Amino acid sequence: MKVFKFGGASVKDSKGIKNVANVLQEVGYSNTLVVVSAMGKTTNAMEIVVKNYLENPSEFQGALQDVKKFHNEILIDLFENERHPVFGAVKACFTELSSFFKINKSPDYNFIYDQVVGYGELLSTTIISFYLHDIGLKNNWLDVRNFIKTDNYYRRANVDWEKTQYLISKDFNQNVLNITQGFLGSDTNNFTTTLGREGSDYTAAIFAYCLNATNVTIWKDVPGVLNADPRYFKNATLLKQISYREAIELAFYGASVIHPKTLQPLQRKQIPLYVKSFLNPTEKGTCVSKGKNLEPEISCFIVKKNQVLISLSSLDFSYIVEENISEIFSLLHLYKMKVDVIQNSAISFSVCLEDTYNNLEKLLQHLKAKFKVLCHNNVNLYTIRHYTQDAITELEKDKAVLLKQLTQETVQIVTK
């Protein structure tokens, strides 16, 4: 059993969908599960729909219409006959979405977000499944929400592994080509949940773990795992083979090519992960697997933009001790902040974080009751794995360094 994952960039238009079919035909698709993300920037477009639904009703229908138009144009490119059943299936998805908006009574943004944004994946897989059928690639469309069960931590749900394993073992047919959605699950009340942005990789890993898959392949628009994001760094180099440990480290620090949660289930069963180019599917790409001597021999660079750096100090110059640190982390947890770097001294504590849930102002007000607070918005967090002094010097050139932290293998630098 193989698991393939195609992201939004690979299915951003009709040409991309046709290329997915070409990849399957070229590398083989028997006993394969294909996990697919929303098309192109659909998730971003759905987020605008949610925002307008809650905050700007006059723009709501227009935003929803933009999503419909985008998908309809792809349908027209792929299917000559507008009486093809796929048009009715896509229309049914939008009808179901519109019904949610009409009957919803919840004011909870995170709940609404998950019920709405997930339609991006439902639409993409519906269209792709019908297209593959039309060109002779028979397949079975699956609603991933019937297999992956989670808690109700909307927008970053936690998988209930026991229930998920049971459902996949009971109902999954491994002998056919299956198409399903990434990013999604459902809670005990069958409401849609999401696994966090870019969570389709994680979906692929969940299925691979539960199915004891032989391998997982993530198809990207890059040749594999690179030592740096070519959008921000020059002369990025392909890492042909790395260990699970190294891949987990890179993902943890923010390497966008692999979702942070993806590696753990694969590592537990030693399922190899391949990262390959959907433009050149026969090239080897990167293999992530078990091994002690698979660490890169070159420095690896990661950047996370639009971070927040908060520096705290005691109001009376007393020490920042365990009691204070415990309280700070309780507040970070309360306001759902994702912490990327921490640094503390005798009388100060700094933390670089992501304000995913837009709770920064609430957090700052809470902290100001007990601490002197300095906040820097829109900072950049750079991480260098296997750093050299030359790499650090080059990175810091022409930047204002706000925080710097070195360990044996990793340096992290926050800049403005």
Q: What is the pLDDT of residues 19-37, one digit of tens each?
A: 999 999 999 999 999 999 9
Cβ atoms of 347 and 317 within 8 Å: the answer is yes
Superfamily of structural domain 2-213 = Acetylglutamate kinase-like (3.40.1160.10)
* pTM across the whole model: 0.87
The three-state secondary structure class of 292 is: coil
pLDDT of residue 412: 98
Q: How far is CA 238 from the centre of its chain?
A: 21
pLDDT of residue 293: 65
Strand partners, 171: none
Question: For the segment 325-376, what is each residue's pLDDT rounded down to a tens digit?
Answer: 999 999 999 999 999 999 999 999 999 999 989 999 999 999 999 999 999 9
Domain range list for the chain:
2-213, 300-415
Instruction: Give the strand pairing for 348-354 and 300-314.
Output: antiparallel
Closest to 49 in 3D by CA, of 62, 36, 40: 62
Amino acid at 21: A
**Confidence at residue 317, expressed as pLDDT on a 0 to 100 scale:** 82
Question: Which residues are known binding-site members?
Answer: 231
Average pLDDT over residues 225-235: 92
Superfamily of domain 300-415: VC0802-like (3.30.2130.10)
Q: What is the mean pLDDT of the chain?
A: 95
Q: Give the mean pLDDT of 155-177.
A: 96
Measured CA angle at 172 (ends 168, 177), to 5 deg: 135
- Give dist(CA 255, CA 6) in Å, integer: 18
**350: part of which helix (H) or strand (E)?**
strand 348-354
Model confidence at 409, in pLDDT bands (50, 70, 90)? Answer: very high
Helices (H) and strands (E) in the chain, counts: 13, 16
Q: Which residues of 135-154 are buried (b: 16+ CB within 10 A; e: fewer)?
A: eebebebbebbebbbbeebb
Numbered residues of the known binding site for ATP:
231
